[in-house]
Amino acid sequence: MIRGILFHVIPLILPFVVYAVYLYFNKRAGGDKTWRGKSIAVSTVTGLFLMALSLVILGSVSGDSRDGTVYIPPKFEDGKLIDSQVIPAKDKN
């Protein structure tokens, strides 16, 4: 659940948060900038780009191993706990 939030939602809303903070400090300094269509569009495109980038990074660092090793998690068999195993690629065949 946390991974889903970190890699999907946060990169998407981060540009909006950054721009909102910018508008807040601009308003405190006497500026008159507000949310406009162009700023929302740029924030949306930037957020989508960051989300896609995070998905590419997540896909490249997780999943099956590239060297062919296989992980077998621990399991119960006939009432006994069998430890986990890592089978190297050469022993797999």
Statement: residue 66 has pLDDT above 70 = no
Helix (H) or strand (E) holding 21: helix 10-28
- pLDDT tens sequence across 32-63: 888 888 989 999 999 999 989 988 887 787 76
State the total domains in the chain: 2
pTM above 0.75, yes or no: no
37 and 13 in a common domain: yes
87 and 55 in a common domain: no
- Length in residues, the chain: 93
48 and 3 in a common domain: yes
- pLDDT tens sequence across 3-21: 767 778 888 999 999 999 9
37 and 69 in a common domain: no
* Domain boundaries, position 92: 65-93
2 and 25 in a common domain: yes
Number of helices and strands in the chain (H, E): 3, 4
Statement: residue 68 has pLDDT above 80 = no
86 and 53 in a common domain: no
56 and 32 in a common domain: yes
